[in-house]
Amino acid sequence: MLTDKGVHFLAIEGVIGVGKTSLARIIAERWNALCIEENYQDNPFLEKFYENPEPYAFQTQLFFLLERHKQLQHSALQSDLFHDLLVSDYTFDKDAIFAAQNLSDSEFAMYEQVSKAIEHEIPRPDMVVYLQASIPTLLSRIKNRGRPMEKSIEGSYLKGLQARYDLHFWHYPHAPVLIINTDHIDFVHNENHLKLVLDAIESCPRQTTYFVPEGN
């Protein structure tokens, strides 16, 4: 088990639509973990941001920053006798990726001041699973899950995020990262594919590793 390797906090990461929440929920169920999910639906600015990004980017990002901080800080203080493993569908660091993508220079400077003032108060994951997929795959998955506010997301926006995610997690300084390409697997509906992913997570060495599972 992961806890035998000293992994008590596992974070699942990836670009919009890649399947990180689905995997976090599966891991929570299979491995009796406490699951933390991003509260995107509680962000009052998100739908407005997708409709008209520029005037709502800063409010959207600041809400996410403070909400993620609150969630992770609470998890660090929470005493749960029934779970040895905590799994989340995000890292605190990911917020800065979106901020760099969406904010103006002056907004980002202000955002960084707030982020640096509070980042030391939250726990860091012991391991990160970074799910990757091509832009066509991401667009297909976003369309299939059918969230109305996401219908305007374009491939060019995802491409920019993907590049920032790749740079960030290929050089992640805080924990080992398992990078999994998910283009040819469906771990939600295919038990064999899921086993490939879970086995890779359990056997991952304590270093950044790239894994390309072959679905069948």
Single out the catalytic residue among 84, 89, 166, 186: 89
All residues at 6 or more sequence positions from 23 whose CB lies less than 8 Å from its CB, including other chains:
12, 89, 129, 131, 187, 197
Angle value at C-alpha 85, between 129 and 195, nearest 5 degrees: 50
The structure tokens listed for 102 are 């969406």
Under 8 Å between Cβ of 126 and 175: yes
Identify the CA nearest to 177 among candidates 185, 186, 168: 168
All residues at 6 or more sequence positions from 207 whose CB lies less than 8 Å from its CB, including other chains:
176
Decide if 89 is catalytic: yes
On the CB side of 120, CA atoms within 13 Å amount to 3
Residue numbers annotated as active site: 89
